[in-house]
Structures are given as C-alpha cells and as structure tokens.
A = this chain, B = another copy of it.
C-alpha cells in the first residue's frame, strides 16, 4: 500500500508552525509496513488543494490529509475532498448530537458554523475526536482509502493511533498485504547519548534485524529497535531478544519501554513498595509535582508538593531555620536538606524530596552561578543531598532539576541510592 500525506494550512506553508503531523503519521505507517512516497504541504486554498488531492489519488492507494477541518471559512479540506470525489456531504447526526453536548457542557451557545464539522462525504465514517470538535473521517472510494484528520497534534495523534492504524491494519489483512514491522523503544536516563553509544558500540555496528536507532531527547536517550519478519511471533521474538542483549549492557539505565515516561516508572515503584512522598520545590517551581501528578492514581503516593518559593515560606511552612538561610543562602546543601526533612515531617511521608537552585537568567553569582542546584532526599534510613550545575535556559534548568530528582527517587526506590 502506497501512501501520500497532504498537510493543509497556510501557517505550515509560511513556516509559522512545524509539520510534526507528517512525521508522526509516517512513523505510525512504517510500523504497518506502509511506505510514504510523497508529503505535500498546501495552503488553505481550494483550487490548489483540489489539484494536490487529485494528483495524490492517481499516485497513491492511501491519502491522508491533515488540517483544514475547523469551523471557519478558511477550513476547506472536507468540502474540497468531497468535491474532487464527487460525493455529497451529509450531516452526521451522531456528531451533531456530540457537538450539542460539548457546547451544552460548556454552557456556551453553538455557532451555526460549528455544524459544518458534522458534515461527512457520503459513505464516510466518523472518527470521533475526544479532544476537539472536528472529528476525523475515514472513507473508501474507487479502491482508494482517504483519511481526514484534524490539524492540532493533540487531537490528531489519539485518532491516528487508536482508530486509523487499527482500520488500516484490518485493510492490509484483508488484502493479505501485511508486512510485519514492529518497533520497541527502550528509554534511557542518567547516561548521555555518546556514552550510551560507546557502551553498545558492538551492537550498533552489527545491527541488521532489528535495526537500532538512538534518538537524543531532553535529558534522556531513546533507542528504537525495529524488527521485520513473517509473523507476529517472529518479530516479537527478534525484538525481545535484542532488547535483552541491550539490557544486559545498559542495565538500570533503562527505565522504561515505549510510552512509559520516567514519572510512570517512579510511580510504579512507589506503588510496589507502598511508599508515600512529599515534595518541597523551590527553583523547579512545581514542575516535579506537575510531572508526578500527570500519572493517574498519583493521589495514592503523593501527599503534597510544596513550592516554597520565598524564604518566608521555607521558614514558616517547612520549618527551615532562618539562621541557616542567612548563613548558607537559600541555595545550599543545608537548606535543601532542611526542606526535605521539613516536608517529610510535615506530611508524615515516607520520603521527602527537595530541590533548591538558581533557575536564572538573573540571580546568579560567581559563587552560586545560574544552574547551581541542590537536590535532597530524606527517608527512614537515608539522608542524601547532591549538588548539580545544570545549564541552558530557565526552562531547561527547571526541567533538568525535575528530571534528576525523578532519577534519584527511582534509584532510591530500587535500593541503589548511596548517600
């Protein structure tokens, strides 16, 4: 099956936003063995979109269009696709109902133009959108598969992964065209990309099936293994055995697989061990707490996360001694330790974690430069405090601090954190 992706949007053409959708779609299709032959970006312009879509229908078996499904007049994809295919647009009563519910829930009147989003080319199937008012559309016509998806990635991605990919897999099975390609991602933290590459150099050099692709992420590295084969069992076994080989070398640096984020790895350990935690953040400003509460069920382990930004808050809420702050400064090992102890005691938590540092860009000095950060962890039998010098923007420093605190917490929960 040959695919072509058409991304619709003047903001893409003008370079105002970057086309992550085409990349994500290509990656997902790859795992089904579907090759993408062309990607085209075209503006919100009916004649040009019409030309591009007409050409794509000639060249491809599967055409995926993204964007241009909004309620306003410059959203033209639905109408243009229907016109090229010569199909009338029909109002989908299920989605009209859904739109009414959405607007009722927000107690907002529904503008007439929103009803355009319930129009579907005849024979098309609605792909419900849980995060927006424009549903996707799946359509088969003249031996071709045509898929329309909303432009915003947070709306597009769930529809793509949960609805489009399964439909295409079915289609491929019907056509007995399925070539099996599967990927597995190993997520690594606490080790830089080049250090990791050194460690697994022999594996990288003799890679074939599965292939191994390192991807540097912010404060993490991911390894994508991709195996091909004749059956599910074969590709799964290829992936599993290669993952085992890599785990033998990288060990605990691998914290998760596929979509498992670091906060989920930590959450799982907290659940397993039945431990509770409390956080005291200063320079990270609540980001550690935000990440840990992104995990559903976090109320089972997170008692509180106190962003004690001012000295007064550190003193009055956490019980840090004023003299220590005056003597050592708010960014110091002593204050980090007192914050971790204080929040643990205050919340009766098993583990207290604290972060204090200079997030910048202002507030640094030669003795305490921007990026200097202390992270402390207090538990029944352990008091640990470490010093870091992070670099980058204010956002980078906040993110590296929160990431490092999660890594320390993970090590501690695995019984591997030394003082």
A contacts, CB < 8 Å to B: 10-20, 22-27, 30, 35-43, 48, 52, 70-74, 102, 105-106, 108, 110-111, 113-114, 130-131, 152, 154, 192-195, 197-198, 204-205, 213-216, 218, 224, 279, 281, 285-290, 292-294, 296-299, 302-310, 312-313, 316-317, 346-348, 359-363, 389, 391-396, 398
Interface centre among A114, A205, A285 (most CB of B within 10 A): A285
Q: Please classify the interface of chain A as helix (H, G, I), strand (E, B), loop, or mixed, using the class held by over half of its residues.
A: mixed
Q: Is the CB of A306 within 8 A of B317?
A: yes
- Chain B residues near A204: list those with CB within 8 A: 72-73
- Chain B residues near A15: list those with CB within 8 A: 22-27, 30, 36
Asked if A22 meets B23 with Cβ closer than 8 Å, knowing A306-B307, A346-B316, the reply is: no
Q: Is the CB of B303 within 8 A of A292?
A: no
Nearest CB of chain B from residue A325's CB, rounded to whole Å:
14
The contact of A389 among B17, B35, B105, B154, by CB within 8 Å, is B105
Q: How far is the CA of A108 from the CA of B389 in the complex (A)?
A: 12
This protein's copies in its complex = 2
Closest B residue to A23 by CB, please name it: B15
Nearest CB of chain B from residue A121's CB, rounded to whole Å:
22
- Chain B residues near A35: list those with CB within 8 A: 13-14
Q: How far is the CA of A25 from the CA of B363 in the complex (A)?
A: 33
Q: Would you list the 4 A-B pairs with minimal beta carbon distance, nearest first? A: A285-B293, A15-B26, A286-B289, A286-B286
Asked if A38 meets B30 with Cβ closer than 8 Å, knowing A293-B285, A304-B310, the reply is: no
Q: Is the CB of A304 within 8 A of B289?
A: no
Nearest CB of chain B from residue A322's CB, rounded to whole Å:
15
Nearest CB of chain B from residue A298's CB, rounded to whole Å:
7
Q: Is the CB of B309 within 8 A of A299?
A: yes
- Chain B residues near A312: list those with CB within 8 A: 303, 347-348
Q: Is the CB of A22 within 8 A of B19?
A: yes
The contact of A313 among B304, B308, B396, by CB within 8 Å, is B304
Q: Is the CB of A395 within 8 A of B193?
A: no
- Chain B residues near A396: list those with CB within 8 A: 131, 154
